Amino acid sequence: MKEISCKLLVLGAGPGGYVAAIRAGQLGVNTVIVEKAKAGGTCLNVGCIPSKALIHAADEYHRLRAAASGKSPLGLSLSAPAIDLRRTIAWKDGIVGRLNGGVTGLLKKAGVKAVIGEGRFVDGKTVDVETETGLQRIRAEAIVIATGSAPVELPDLPFGGSVISSTQALALTDVPQTLAVIGGGYIGLELGTALAKLGSKVTVLEALDRILPQYDADLSKPVMKRLGELGVEVFTRTAAKRLSADRRGLLAEENGRAFEVPAEKVLVTVGRRPVTDGWGLEEIDLDRSGRFIRIDDQCRTSMRGVYAIGDVTGEPMLAHRAMAQGEMVAEIVAGHKRSWDKRCIPAVCFTDPEIVGAGLSPEEARAAGIDVKIGQFPFQANGRAMTTLSEDGFVRVIARADNHLVLGIQAVGHGVSELSATFALAIEMGARLEDIAGTIHAHPTQSEAFQEAAFKTLGHALHI
């Protein structure tokens, strides 16, 4: 058995893991990273990046179809468009490949040693990795667990055949005629919307009383409206049961009423689970918080020298959260003083229209007993939104009533994901309504709606 020693061992080369390894390498820490597949993890290979590529392709195709219908308000017209999904997927795979190679190159540039294989804890300082050339034992002063998450499977609808996860949905080479989506959260609606634009007849089944339950109803209403325009049928308070006898449909139940949904493919998106099996974690017996590994404000676990970051530590399961944690842990291992003290972690839903949220929602602020002021500005009154046929949605600002400290910012609309950094920066820097209102926003841009929402909260909106 080959043995190597290092100061830091990172298990998993997803967004959190590879950032931790790169930053540690930059700081001169002798670092090894173990990954059983490709660098980049779920986000880069089968999640964030490929899904956004597919969403963009679907948007472009949908615009062409609208022009071909002769109903374009811009006066555009063309003959019937077509899509070769195999070429689309090849383009998507090319982007993933370029980014994957980029991560590999950055790890090498930082002096990080990469070991490909499946790792398993021997004890809190030792991991054995099964590689193609045999067993590799790695001894480390500190270990970071960054093993990520995986799609949750339903007992009566296990993955296989016509039942697919988001991973398989992103590898389809033909557009299914009919698609049933189980779960009306952000993953199901992002992919369901994209496939509806590509030509699928999509049906969404959600067990709760509305879609996107992680966002408040005001934010989800424009998305629900758009789903209707795209011909997507949504059933709430509905339970998916099993495939029909001929396996061409999905049996479901809504308030005691049984019915069947046509489904060439069934996309299951009911959540994700931490990947804690197969790594020998029972050998070190870390404290848990439910299904997740419990950590403190420095991402330390219950065992000295063992850290955990990203999805394996719980919600929110977001790549940028994992990246921030990875950077912090690398600096702690290098001897810097750091702790996790985030005022907000922005979250984006890439539906049509997009949703972005940072900080507290109105309900969360009130539940905390805070007296708040709320201002909202519609994109219907924003010139840039009008000129891009993107008038649905709004920007909303929540601030303390007493001192005007901004507590939360949300938006729903076309392209609002690009405002997420602006929203997060305002909250992180402790902005007050007057700071946002006093900042000159370029005209004509959608960002002006942010300033106008602050004006509205202060009681003197200018353009409504």
Length of the chain: 464
Residue 364: count of CB within 10 angstroms of its CB: 14
Sheet of strand 372-378, all strands in order from the earlier edge strand to the far edge: 347-349, 354-359, 406-413, 394-400, 372-378
What is the spatial distance between Cα 329 and Cα 172, in angstroms, rounded to a whole number? 38
- Count other Cβ atoms within 10 Å, centred on residue 343: 15
**What are the CA-CA distances from residue 104 to residues 19, 48, 79, 115 (Å)?**
11, 18, 44, 11
Contact by Cβ (8 Å): 24, 8: yes
Active site residue 443: yes
Bridge pairing between strands 406-413 and 394-400: antiparallel
Q: Which residues of 142-174 are buried (b: 16+ CB within 10 A; e: fewer)?
A: bbbbbbbbebeebeebeeeebbbbbebbbebee
Secondary structure of residue 293 in the 3-state scheme: strand
Alpha carbon distance 392, 378 (integer Å): 8
Amino acid at 311: D
User: From CA 30, how far away is CA 333, in angstroms rounded?
Assistant: 11
| b/e map 299-321, b = 16+ CB within 10 Å | bbbebeebbbbbbbbbeebbbbb
Q: How many CB atoms lie within 10 A of CB 181?
A: 32
H runs (alpha helix) in 310-447: 319-333, 362-367, 383-387, 420-428, 433-437
> Which entry of 62, 404, 443, 460 is annotated as an active-site residue?
443
β-pair partners for 78: none
Residues 219 and 213: their CA atoms lie apart, in Å, by 10
User: What is the residue type of 299?
Assistant: C
Residues identified as active-site? 443
